[in-house]
Structure 1
Amino acid sequence: MEVVVMIVAAALGILVFHTMRFRDRRKECTEYVNLALDFFEADHRFLTFKDEEKRYFMVNRAFLLLHGKKQEDFIGKTDGELQRKDLAETLEKMDDHVLSTGTPVEEVVYAHERVYRIRKFPVRLPGKKAGIGINAEDITEDIAYEKELARIIRRNEILISAFAKDFASSHEQLDYVLYQALELTGSDYGYIYLFDEEKKLFSLENFAVKGKVSSKRRSYKQNYRLENMGLWSQSVRTKEAHIFNREKRSARNTEEEDYFNLMTVPVILEDQVVAVVGVANNPKGYTKVDAEELSLLMIGVWNAKDRREFSLALRDMNADLLENKEKLTLILNSSADGIYGMDTKGNFTFINQSALTLLGYEKVSDFIGKNCHEMIHHKRKDGSSYPEKECRIYDAIPKGETVTCEDEVFIRKDGTAFSVQYSAHPQIRNDRIIGAVVTFSDITERKKQEEDVLYLTYHDSLTGLHNRPYLEKVYHDLEQEENYPMSVVVGDVNGLKLSNDIFGHQRGDQFLKRIAEVIKHSIREEDLVFRVGGDEFYLFLRSTREEDARVVMHRIQKAVEMEDFQGVRGSISLGLSVKTVDGLTLEEVLNDAEQNMYREKTLRAKMEGKKQLSYLISQLMSYPKERAHAENTRNYARAIGEALKLRQDELKALEDAAYLHDVGKIPTIIGKNKGEMSFYPTRKDHAVIGYRILNAFEETADIAKAVLSHHEKWNGTGYPKGLSGEEIPLLSRIIAVAEKFDRLTGISYGKPISKEEALQHLDREKGETLDPKVVNALKEAV
């Protein structure tokens, strides 16, 4: 019997043990499922699932906020029922591909003036049914960034082509550049007018229309006086680019739109306007960036044209110059380039006036018979000594060949150096080399422009950080073992979209610039930081272990969080991965760091949202009058809602919306505080801005529409949509009455009137600007 009892007890013990293990395992599985759902809801991408009938059955919060709708608006419906016809066809075609082939598909789709990268892939639903998983990202800013980079690269290609291409004439060279300028600026028309400073006259040199060069060299010039040339004259007088953008309007008797946009850019050499270039009819209008690009292009090309003309003239006249010393002196002294001659021993034999001026001398006698190298060519760019035996100019004499160079310097009388482009031509008489003729010009400004072009090619124009092309350039160097362990950090700025929505893209750009400064000052000089997208940064910390990298990351995040970007608190999500000798490839490390960043961004999304919302509200409520108005409006709205017998959940939403109905005033309040009101929107815009702010946060998204419409009027004369009657949400109509009543009776808005007088005033507005039912409810409540 005791044995039986022991066996039963043991069996019961085993059963209890396995039951407890099963419960623990089920609890653990439930926690994993909840964690996955949290990831799904908090992910910043737009995530959805469809069944085999292409109907939505799961959508995340980011997707709902994008469309401004609720889950029930999507669940069980197809894109054909929800989207415009052309967009629905594109999306359902992707669905058909996934369901029919069982393979993923990715496309870039344009919708609602934004650009999205959409990926669809097969999933297996409960019950072994086929389904579709979908994730989408807004890549509008990345596309814009790539277009800007393409413009910079295209401009550099045009410059290189204009410098290197062999043209039959300067006129043909300008025709070519004008054609390229039309492509670069997206214009229909282009003009080049030469300008005579002394006579104050323009003459048409080149003209192009619809991307084709139309100008023909004429035997006479079409001349125009300075005072008769409108914007062209302004560019001469101010020595600056001028832009005239006229808004589109319908042309008479046609369905086309009529517009005329013009940009004029002066070409300035030695502080004199030598020409004015104009382009016209870019449908989108012109910007300062267009003007800067066209100016850089034309100045560079004009210098190349002048050098080409002089070189041709020098070549054609070389034989006559040797025979006629007087003619030689005249021509040499009329040249803007410096020219000197030397004998076979390297001593000066002649020098022109331009060379004297460029070198800082006054008399020819200071040079004749003296050694050329010792006087003007004895140092390198870095200031080190340049031995005469290594001088490339001297190679022209023994080799009998022309030697050219543009990466050396000449030395002035005062000891300063300047960058030169020189050509040394062997001087031949009676088939014998008797010396060389050297032509040179000061290319300090051109070198600076080339450095600027190189800088723009490998740097982000907004932040000054390195860009993606530079990353591709140094990628191989980063893969070298001497850098390891190398910590790779991927950062993504939080709150940029909110800043853009509230303050506009100009302030958003300042937001990004300040973030870039904070990051740059938080790392070492030998570390590299890149801006690779709209709000994404890469950091490469050489010879840095994981624990040290996390110290840097903490320093960056704390520094960013200390910043107040015009009312938006700074925040950045960072992800880390470490490249070791035997570990992942650099590309895999980058991907790992990016995934870690997205994971952190997802986990912190709710917390960051709450902190940001609280900060914005505190900005508004820090002003006693605004706080008093918000509280009074909330109390009156609550009283009206109770009189109308609203449900408790409706009353809660009403109170929240009434309290925050003026949250869109934050830009104006901050603008007044900082003395920058010229930037901020008009009073009528604050309802829209308030909607954008509230719609950005999960806690307030459900009251955003009530705030958006609280300035609509019963008779349809309100804003922003001009809604009328019961088209206006009920909560918005209640807020309108409550707010108006407080403005009439509250001490915050001038001289208050009595409640009785205020109610009489509201009675007069019933059926006009205010909902009669709501006004009556207020009278009942107060």
Structure 2
Amino acid sequence: MYTIIAALIAIGLIFSLFKTFDTRLLEEVEKNLTIENEYYKTSISSQLEKKSEIINNLSTYMESKRQLDYDELLDYMKAMLNKNSNIESIYFGSTDNLLVNGSGWIPPEDFDLRTRPWYVKAINHGKLVITDVFLNATSEKYIITIAKPVYSNNGQVIGVLGADLSLDSIVDLISVQDDSYGEFFILNEEFELIAKSRTQDDGKPILEDTSLKISSNISSIGTSVAEATLNNEKGYVSISHIDGTNLYVGVFNSIGSENYYDKQWKNILIISVIFLVGLLLIMFLIQNKIIIKPAYTLENDIKQISITDNINYRLEELKRDPFENIRKTVNARLAQTEVYFRDLLESKDELESSNEELIAAMNQLKAYQEEIEQNQNDLLESKLLLEESQKRNAAIINVLPDIIFMYDSKGVFIDCQTNDEAGLVLSKDLFIGKNISEVMPPDISEKAIMSIAKTIETGQPQKFEYNINIDGSERTYESRMVKSNDNEVLAISRDITSEKQEQEYILKLTYKDQLTGLYNRRYYEEQIEKLSGREFLPLAIMMVDVNGLKLTNDAFGHHIGDELLKKVAKNLISCDSKGGFACRVGGDEFLMVFPNTDENEAEYLVDKLYELVSAEKLENIVISISAGWQVRTDVSQSIRDTLIKAENHMFRKKIVESQSMRNQTVNIIMQTLSEKNEREKRHSVEVAKLAKEIGVSMGLSVQKVKEIELAGLLHDIGKIAIKEDILNKPGKLTEEEYDEIKRHPESGYHILKSVDEYSSLAQCVLEHHERFDGKGYPKGIKGTQISLIARIIAVADAFEAMIAQRPYRKSLSQEMAIEEIKKNSNIQFDPEVVTAFLKIFDKS
């Protein structure tokens, strides 16, 4: 019976193992074919990429040429063909149907290369492409073409570059692996065999009389493996697509190959070994069932014997058990043991019952003792927690800057805690137990009692602020109250004097102009709305503008301009006697608002302001303002319209007053510059004189000569902005100091540009250090881009500087200076101006 079962099991096991190894063999075939397929696919793709790189390099060479030389291109193509024998042909087709072919092939007259598939596909895709496979009618080879459009420098297509590759040459370039599992081939998109690996016999590709039949739909195969028949020989095939082409690469392995049967014999050997092992295993199982397992069961049953846990336990007596007699013997001995132990248990019960009362009494006593110890521990822990809480509260109070009060519902002080009693009005001993009304001033006690009542009634926190004098100092406190219980309130009072002062300071910064101390535009916009009511009529608005602020900044520096604004602001405040306000609303603009001020009063205030400003002095600077005003007499008139009319009034006056002030300022600048440096004064006079003579020598008009002379006087007016220690420095200037000196033409330009009388000369002053060759400053212009007056002043300025005495160098003689002017003609100086300059000295 057991032998039959073992035989059946062995047969089933052999069949199962055979199927398993057959499946594994097929998986190995699939794996090897897939690996080889990927190798050949990668090799072909690599060869195509290498040939594509040749086309890319050639197209880059063509695109780098501004003008294509077709003879040179043909020579280049022939050289490339000689280096790459596996390329059938390299050619270029232009957009006007011109073909340059490295192989020498000449097309017929009616041949239109622009209709060829390689040309059309490259033009449509606009990049390098690989055409479909076609059969070359001349060579009877399967060909693919690599084509790429070529562009001119302006991005226009000038043609298409192409190279023909035969599939045979690609196959020749691929090395067949020594341990190849099958042979590879190439298919077209109809899955027709068009190229195959070389045979070992004659080395020729097998294309004719070769058929391939695949058992499943080939279009769905991808890179998986399917059964196939090649030349009536069954086997397996793996096919995958070659990226960028319409080609597929395949690898075929015959079932009848040597590798297959070798593996089958190995499988039979393995199965035989497994069969023998299976028989041994079956024999072991039979022995285990008949002998080993019953013995193991008997052992476990004997281990279950326990006199203390189960005195009634007996071994189970099983039929057909080879150890049945042993079980009966053991059970007989267990029955005798049970009688003996039952006698012992009866004696034990008597002893236990006699000790139960003693044990119960001892347990009760122990419980009483544990309860007493627990109560003592609880009391000790509560005491420690209370002491710790008191320490924490004291530490919190010492850290907090606040004063903590406890009131009852009627406002009586219950307790007070603080880390500094200097903040208390009275010592704690003098007010604890008293009502707050007996200790604090009425206004504070009333607020406190109301807050206490509201806190107890609503249960919501309350707060209020109060001021109190402590040691002669006015302090501000904030009191916050919370409900402690139904009859008590906890209050925390904090000194917020510093916070209040900071808030007031920030508010002041918000509404004040930092430079002048006047109110700013934000304050004006908020206040003017409050003055729109009838009770403020008539309402006068005065607009004030500081004349020539920018000119003052350019000439004397922004620190002088700031002082000028402060002077004007001071006089605006002095002018206000009607309870209005003044504010700065722009860089040089101010507003004054006077409630309950009529037309006559407004005019009087404006005259007073002019008088105050004219009396102000700020070094040698002219302080000038223009002021306009308008009075709002009815609420129907908008404040905005009143402001606009005041502003227009101011602008009308500024047209006259501002220009006069600027003229005065220019005169003061020249006077100040002369006072700072007598040498600069002499220099300007001499330059003006020589420039005038050059203008006369050039035959210019009388009016033009006057402009030249004035420009010569003013050409260095920008030096007013240069520090006096640099201007008068006896030694050589540093690079930074020289850079500052070089800024004086721009400073002079800004000064003169703001004055109508001199604005026409501003450009000449800006350009008088430009050079005829364009290497001057500040703009670096050259030739006739430089104004004529500036070119004349450049010669006069240079000549006068050379013959004048300087602290850091000796002067040149007149003859040496003239030679320098000649030498730099057409370099630094205008040759026409130099000629006119030389005429002056020829006459003398």
> What TM-score, normalized by structure 2, do the two folds share?
0.48
Partner of 1:689: 747
Match of 2:441 among 358, 373, 378: 378
Shift in Å, 1:692: 0.7
Equivalent positions of 1:379-528 (< 5 A) are 386=444, 388=446, 392-396=450-454, 399=457, 401-405=459-463, 407-412=465-470, 414-428=471-485, 433-502=486-555, 508-524=561-577, 526-528=579-581
Sequence identity (%): 30
User: Residues 468-508 of structure 1: CA distance to partner in whole angstroms, max 9, x if unpaired?
Assistant: 33333233432334433333212222212323444566654
Partner of 1:627: 681
User: Residues 63-97 of structure 1: CA distance to partner in whole angstroms, max 9, x if unpaired?
Assistant: xxxxxxxxxxxxxxxxxxxxxxxxxxxxxxxxxxx
In structure 2, distance between residues paired with 1:520 and 1:478: 19
Partner of 2:706: 652
In structure 1, distance between residues paired with 2:737 and 2:581: 35
Segments of structure 1 that go 5 or more residues without pairing to the other structure are 1-319, 380-384
The answer (yes or no) to whether the contact 2:802–2:812 under 8 Å persists in 1 is yes
Shift in Å, 1:761: 3.8
CA 1:347–1:669: 2 relative to 1, 3 Å: same
- The Cα RMSD (Å) is 3.8
The answer (yes or no) to whether the contact 1:493–1:572 under 8 Å persists in 2 is yes
User: Residues 248-281 of structure 1: CA distance to partner in whole angstroms, max 9, x if unpaired?
Assistant: xxxxxxxxxxxxxxxxxxxxxxxxxxxxxxxxxx
- Matched to 1:758, the amino acid is A
Partner of 2:106: none
In structure 2, distance between residues paired with 1:499 and 1:370: 73
Equivalent positions of 1:535-546 (< 5 A) are 535-546=588-599
In structure 1, distance between residues paired with 2:413 and 2:609: 61
CA 1:491–1:360: 2 relative to 1, 3 Å: same
Residue 771 of structure 2 is aligned to residue 713 of structure 1: yes
Partner of 1:612: 665
- Matched to 1:722, the amino acid is G
Shift in Å, 1:573: 1.3
Shift in Å, 1:586: 3.6
In structure 1, distance between residues paired with 2:839 and 2:666: 35
In structure 2, distance between residues paired with 1:679 and 1:472: 46
In structure 2, distance between residues paired with 1:376 and 1:712: 86
Secondary structure of the 1:521 match is helix
Match of 1:576 among 626, 629, 639: 629
CA 1:550–1:469: 2 relative to 1, 3 Å: same
Partner of 1:104: none
In structure 1, distance between residues paired with 2:405 and 2:386: 13
Residue 392 of structure 2 is aligned to residue 334 of structure 1: no
Match of 1:352 among 389, 393, 417: 417
- Matched to 1:512, the amino acid is L
CA 1:377–1:631: 2 relative to 1, 3 Å: farther
The answer (yes or no) to whether the contact 1:744–1:758 under 8 Å persists in 2 is yes
- Mean alpha-carbon deviation: is it higher for 536-545 or for 398-407? 398-407
User: Residues 76-120 of structure 1: CA distance to partner in whole angstroms, max 9, x if unpaired?
Assistant: xxxxxxxxxxxxxxxxxxxxxxxxxxxxxxxxxxxxxxxxxxxxx
Secondary structure of the 1:756 match is helix
The answer (yes or no) to whether the contact 1:392–1:403 under 8 Å persists in 2 is no
CA 1:681–1:717: 2 relative to 1, 3 Å: closer
Partner of 1:740: 798
Match of 1:369 among 420, 424, 432: 432
The answer (yes or no) to whether the contact 2:477–2:493 under 8 Å persists in 1 is yes
CA 1:606–1:732: 2 relative to 1, 3 Å: same
In structure 1, distance between residues paired with 2:745 and 2:752: 11
Shift in Å, 1:567: 6.1
In structure 1, distance between residues paired with 2:668 and 2:794: 26
In structure 2, distance between residues paired with 1:670 and 1:512: 24
Residue 785 of structure 2 is aligned to residue 722 of structure 1: no
In structure 2, distance between residues paired with 1:589 and 1:725: 55
- Matched to 2:623, the amino acid is G
In structure 2, distance between residues paired with 1:657 and 1:356: 80
Rg larger in 1 or in 2? Answer: 2
Residue 753 of structure 2 is aligned to residue 699 of structure 1: no
Partner of 1:186: none
Equivalent positions of 1:103-182 (< 5 A) are none
CA 1:338–1:781: 2 relative to 1, 3 Å: farther
Partner of 2:654: 601
Partner of 1:779: 838
Secondary structure of the 1:439 match is strand
- Matched to 1:697, the amino acid is V
In structure 2, distance between residues paired with 1:440 and 1:452: 23
Segments of structure 2 that go 5 or more residues without pairing to the other structure are 1-384, 730-735
CA 1:348–1:739: 2 relative to 1, 3 Å: same
Partner of 1:68: none
Shift in Å, 1:434: 3.3
Shift in Å, 1:448: 2.2
Match of 2:715 among 661, 664, 667: 661
CA 1:389–1:657: 2 relative to 1, 3 Å: closer
Shift in Å, 1:704: 0.9
The answer (yes or no) to whether the contact 1:375–1:411 under 8 Å persists in 2 is no
Partner of 2:828: 769
CA 1:472–1:427: 2 relative to 1, 3 Å: same
Shift in Å, 1:652: 1.7
Partner of 1:643: 697
> What TM-score, normalized by structure 1, do the two folds share?
0.51
Shift in Å, 1:411: 4.2
Partner of 1:26: none
Shift in Å, 1:671: 8.8
In structure 2, distance between residues paired with 1:358 and 1:578: 54
The answer (yes or no) to whether the contact 2:413–2:432 under 8 Å persists in 1 is yes
- Matched to 1:631, the amino acid is V
- State the number of aligned residues: 449
